[in-house]
Structure 1
Amino acid sequence: MTYTNEMVAVKTETFSGVAAKSPVSQNIRTMLRRACVEKRLTVGLLPAIQYLTNNCNGALFCLTTEAPPGDSATHMQEVLLQAFCVENDIYIIKVDSEEKMRTILGCRNQSVDFSCVLVHYPYTDPFTDSQEIDLSVLTEAERDLIEYCDNWEYSQTPVIKLPEK
């Protein structure tokens, strides 16, 4: 099933009964830009799979777009990646456009694959043996997105329409 023409409308909804400060799409943009500055992104489907092979607890979010129609190999990789994410408590967010993610992150290189972007956890001390995750170091946008993602089921993940800029 493709979501190209069936986008779920993004509303400034509530997160746990509290009015959201910004729509989900704005939180995604804020999170992506900050994670980019902090160098905690893995961009591309194959690099994401390679990263998760070595560090299954290092990703907080996995943002994906739909595979192009007829590209069954990429579709299978995406399905397996999403199943892996569900199994390892990585939040999956489907977005409407690879091009919009590229624009948000300021990449003009059209050959870079933006069909999948992993956002890593921010660690307080990446050199310790303990990979304890301090959730207090997450941004407000990341915490809002976690609350938002907790409100839907894996099989019903909506496609979020990203802002144009």
Structure 2
Amino acid sequence: MYITRPSEEKCKMINRNKLGRALRGALIKAKAERRLICGLLPAIAYLEKSPEDVVLCVLPQTRPGDAANHIQTVLLHAFCYENYIPVLEVDSSQKLATYCGVAKKSIDSGQCNCAIIVRDERIQLSENDSIPMSPTEQTLADFYECTIEESPRPVIELPI
């Protein structure tokens, strides 16, 4: 599967100020539909088994001094890039944990270092092998494609 880059006009139309709310909505909806996988190890296990079914990967910014987590994140970014999986970086692992429904104990320790949204298996794949996405998920994937060459990568601020 190959994701095509959106047009310049479409890239300019993406409202970066609303991306945090859009991502929060996509995470909550995916959780309700049982399409959300939280945690680095469960996400890696799913990616290893079925990378073609992953719609988005969401990672919080790595904290300075957390070398092990940084290395895992870099490797996960590379794997997703090789498999055409959009990766969005967010400002807070605690907010991400809240939207994913991670246990309060884990939230207090800041433990939600990865979340992936997988495709809805009830929807058949189209003839062009593109993963079916909701309009919000498509906007988030378009944002990734529009900003793929930006350095440093943009960080989406999740609302409280």
Sort the TM-score into its range (normalised by shorter chain). 0.7 to 0.9
Judging changes above 3 Å, is the alpha-carbon distance between structure 1 residues 19 and 64 closer, same or farther for their aligned structure 2 residues? closer
Kept in 2: contact 1:123–1:134 (CA 8 A): no
Shift of the 18–158 alpha-carbon distance from structure 1 to 2, 3 Å rule, reads closer
Matched position secondary structure for 1:33: helix
TM-score (norm 2): 0.78
DSSP 3-state at the match of 2:146: coil
In the TM superposition, what is the alpha-carbon distance from 1:104 to its structure 2 partner? Answer: 2.5
SS of the residue corresponding to residue 159 of structure 2 reads: coil
When the two structures are aligned, how many residues end up with a matched partner? 148
Alpha-carbon spacing, 1:68–1:110, altered in 2? closer, same or farther (3 Å) = farther
Look up the equivalent residue of 1:96 and give its one-letter code: D
| Unaligned residue ranges in structure 2 (runs of 5+) | 1-8
Moved more, 94-103 or 108-117: 108-117
What's 2:156 paired with? Answer: 160
> What residue in structure 2 maps to residue 48 of structure 1?
43
Q: Letter of the aligned partner of 2:55 in structure 1? A: L
Distance in structure 2 (CA, Å) of the matches to 1:39 and 1:120: 9
Structure with the larger helix share: 2
Matches of 2:118 and 2:128, distance apart in 1: 11
After TM superposition, give the deviation of residue 16 of structure 1 in Å. Answer: 4.0
- Tell me how large the CA RMSD over aligned residues is: 2.8
Q: Which residue of 2 aligns with 1:58?
A: 53
Q: What does residue 96 of structure 1 align with?
A: 91
CA drift of 1:147 comes to: 1.7
One-letter amino acid of the counterpart of residue 35, structure 2: R
**Cα distance between partner residues in 2 of 1:45 and 1:27:** 22
Give the TM-score, by structure 1 length: 0.76
Change (3 A) 1:154 1:118: farther
For residues 156 and 142 of structure 2, what CA distance do their matches in structure 1 show? 15
